[in-house]
Amino acid sequence: MTATTRRRVLLGLVPLLAVLAGLVVWASGGQRIETDNAYLKSDLVPIHPEVDAQVTEVLVEENSVVQAGQTVIRLDVASLKIELERAEARLATVREDLLALERQYRQRRDELALAEEQRSFAERELARQRELVGAKLSPATRLELAEHEVLQARGRVEILRQGIEEMRIRLGPMLQGNSADHPLLRAAAAERDAATLHLARAQIVAPLSGRVVKLPERGAMARRGTPLFTLVRSENIWVEANFKETQLDRLRAGQPVIIRLDSYPDAEWRGHVHTISPASGAEFAVLPPQNASGNWVKVVQRVPVRIAIDAGPADLPLRAGTSASVSVDVQSGNRLSRLLGSL
């Protein structure tokens, strides 16, 4: 092959190679959906005290990292100790009262046995007096006195039996040796245990690891049901991107995402679409829009999409609430796959 021929072949191959390269780029290229309506999110755990008491110590600083089980705040224990002492005194009183009632129960049973013997004696004496009066050997007054003594003896037996039955009901399981199962003792023990638990809860510990924010000042009043501080789980951060509803038909879980943060404009993170919300953000608003009046303007709704962060600069701290922009590759490799599949 002459030099001229080789030159002509090369000149013919250059355009062909350029076309093939362009075709490969077009076929393998993807389409992207972007939005800058995105923010970093993290789990925010409000910590509520379980007792009403004054804050005496704050053991960590604002925005510091704490470990699960670490004590963060101590509350005033003076009133809680009084509550515990009162509950322990109440338990001791109930126990002593029940023991005294048990002793009285056993004493009444002994008295009942004696009263039954006295009743039997009075009944025998009544029978003897009836025989004597019938034989004209004893005056009628003796018979009347014997009848009166029998009535008194029977009445005393009945009174003792009723009292013993009431005591038996009040003592309940104590008569079977199960004093701990007595309702009054169980209630008093529960009050003691609750007071002990309240005293232990005067130390507010972190239930999990994270950063503490919105710490109270020393001297502030902790109230049950009111958050005392908030724990931010900084190790579990994701991006919440609000996409237009018209873009959702192209979004799928698992699609790769490029993430950029306003706070670090020169850095880039990689992630993927984790989940897509089942409803628009407006549905979760405190006052959802009502469009039943007839006077409304159609507005494109946005739907939250959770994006997991897979990789990025490890030396740049991520902060919940900061702004971000995301770019989702919705069709990476699809053209090439379709092209090869048609061949």
pLDDT in tens, the chain (343 residues): 565 665 665 556 656 666 565 555 444 445 888 888 999 998 888 999 988 889 999 999 998 889 999 999 999 988 889 889 999 999 999 888 888 888 888 898 888 899 889 889 888 888 888 888 787 777 888 888 888 988 998 899 899 889 888 888 888 877 777 777 788 888 899 999 988 988 888 889 998 888 899 999 998 998 988 999 999 887 788 999 999 888 888 888 888 999 999 999 889 999 999 988 888 766 666 556 565 555 566 777 888 999 999 988 988 888 888 999 999 988 754 444 444 545 5
In the structure encoding, which two tokens stand for residue 4, read together? 């001229």
Instruction: Give me the count of residues in the chain.
Output: 343
Q: Which residues contact 69 (CB under 8 A, 6 or more apart)?
A: 205, 206
Same domain for 88 and 189, yes or no, is yes
CA torsion, ordered 230, 233, 234, 239, to nearest 10 deg: -100
pLDDT of residue 26: 47
Strands 221-222 and 210-213: unpaired
Same domain for 85 and 124, yes or no, is yes
Question: What are the two backbone dihedrals, phi and then psi, of residue 326, each rounded to the nearest 5 degrees?
Answer: -130, 150
Domain count of the fold of the chain: 3
> How far is CA 108 from each of CA 41, 103, 154, 283, rounded to the nearest angstrom?
73, 9, 15, 72
Same domain for 168 and 222, yes or no, is no
Same domain for 169 and 243, yes or no, is no
Residues 180-214, buried b or exposed e (16+ Cβ, 10 A)?
Answer: eebeebeebbebbeebeebbeebebebeeebbbee
pTM above 0.85, yes or no: no
Q: Is the dihedral of CA 76, 77, 80, 86 positive or negative?
A: negative
104 SS3 class: helix
Q: From 101, 6, 31, select the one nearest 328 (Cα to Cα).
A: 31
Same domain for 122 and 191, yes or no, is yes
Question: What are the two backbone dihedrals, phi and then psi, of residue 138, each rounded to the nearest 5 degrees?
Answer: -145, 145
Q: From 251, 232, 225, 261, select the one nearest 303 (Cα to Cα).
A: 251
Q: How many Cα atoms are found within 13 Å in the side-chain-facing hemisphere of 282?
A: 11
pLDDT of residue 323: 93
Residue 269 domain flag: yes
The residue from 149, 183, 198 where one domain ends is 198
Same domain for 218 and 173, yes or no, is no
> How far is CA 165 from each of CA 35, 106, 162, 168, 172, rounded to the nearest angstrom?
81, 12, 5, 5, 11
Residue 2 domain flag: no
Q: From 82, 43, 56, 75, select the one nearest 205 (Cα to Cα).
A: 75
Q: From 243, 275, 271, select the one nearest 257 (Cα to Cα).
A: 271
Same domain for 192 and 329, yes or no, is no
Same domain for 183 and 85, yes or no, is yes
CATH number assigned to the domain comprising residue 221: 2.40.50.100
Q: In what order do the strands lie in the sheet with 53-58?
A: 203-205, 71-75, 53-58, 221-222
pLDDT of residue 46: 92
pLDDT in tens, 5-29: 656 655 566 566 665 655 554 444 4
CATH number assigned to the domain comprising residue 37: 2.40.30.170
Cα–Cα distance measured from residue 11 to residue 5, given in angstroms and rounded to the nearest whole number: 10
- Specify the residue for token string 């960590």: 60
Residue 48 domain flag: no
Residue 17 domain flag: no
CATH number assigned to the domain comprising residue 144: 1.20.120
Residue 19 domain flag: no
Residue 188 domain flag: yes
pLDDT of residue 43: 85
Same domain for 156 and 207, yes or no, is no
Residue 114 domain flag: yes
Same domain for 84 and 192, yes or no, is yes
Same domain for 86 and 188, yes or no, is yes
Q: Decide: 45 and 208 in contact? Cβ < 8 Å.
A: yes
Residue 241 CB neighbours (<10 A) = 28
pLDDT in tens, 42-88: 888 899 998 888 999 999 999 888 999 999 999 998 888 988 999 99
Residue 165: domain span = 80-198
Residue 10 domain flag: no
